[in-house]
Amino acid sequence: MTDLVLAKLLPHANTGPNRARGAWIHVAPTITKDIRSWFENAGWKVPSEWPGVAALVLEFVERTSEGPHRLEEACSRFDASPYSKGLQSAFMSPILNALRPGDYRVVNYTVQRTLRGLGAETTRARVRYYPQSNALVVALHDDVMAAWPAPPVDGLEPGDLADCFAWWFVALRTSRRSRRE
């Protein structure tokens, strides 16, 4: 179960080794190589902890998939566990968005930079703060969609649109900054 949870519920980069082992490839990946060696080399995990990590991830996904009414509790429980070290919103929010795109958005560094750039309150990376960050991204999406007379792309999920906007916004700000320098 441990290998299955780590490979299928966490967002991996589209690399040969990740594809070969059947990992879940996501457009907003946080895992570029083997998560076990990465976290163990960083000192965040020891080999005996991985079954606990997998159980925590699975419990989190199960609780949050019941609906937003479980989000606050699930995030608090997740964050309180010693197994959560190193696993932040960028790791956990893609699976939430995949399972309930109408309720949950991807919250990663790019999305957080976009929120700050638009003057929104500062968000934090820890899963404990995901409910607040998610609410900000949902509100941003609602504001953007209200300004458009029709959906920009038929069939595009709200979370995907918010993520695309964040990548565009950060790229635009970065290119403007580099031109000024």
Same structural domain, 79 and 136: no
- pLDDT tens profile 21-74: 999 999 889 999 899 999 999 999 999 999 999 999 999 999 999 999 999 999
* 6's tokens: 């780590």
Calpha distance 25→8 (Å, rounded): 9
Same structural domain, 15 and 79: yes
The answer to whether residue 8 sits within a structural domain is yes
Cα-only R_g, the chain: 17
The answer to whether residue 27 sits within a structural domain is yes
Domain count, the chain: 2
Cβ atoms 82, 105 nearer than 8 A: no
Above 60 in pLDDT, residue 103? yes
Mention every residue, 6+ apart, whose C-beta is less than 8 A from residue 123: 107, 112, 115, 116, 129, 132, 133, 136
Last residue of a domain, one of 59, 76, 99: 99
Predicted TM-score (pTM) of this structure: 0.83
Same structural domain, 90 and 156: no
The answer to whether residue 143 sits within a structural domain is yes
Boundaries of domain holding 22 = 2-99
The answer to whether residue 151 sits within a structural domain is yes
Cβ atoms 76, 128 nearer than 8 A: yes
The answer to whether residue 104 sits within a structural domain is no
The answer to whether residue 152 sits within a structural domain is yes
Above 70 in pLDDT, residue 150? no
pLDDT at 77: 97
Same structural domain, 164 and 131: yes
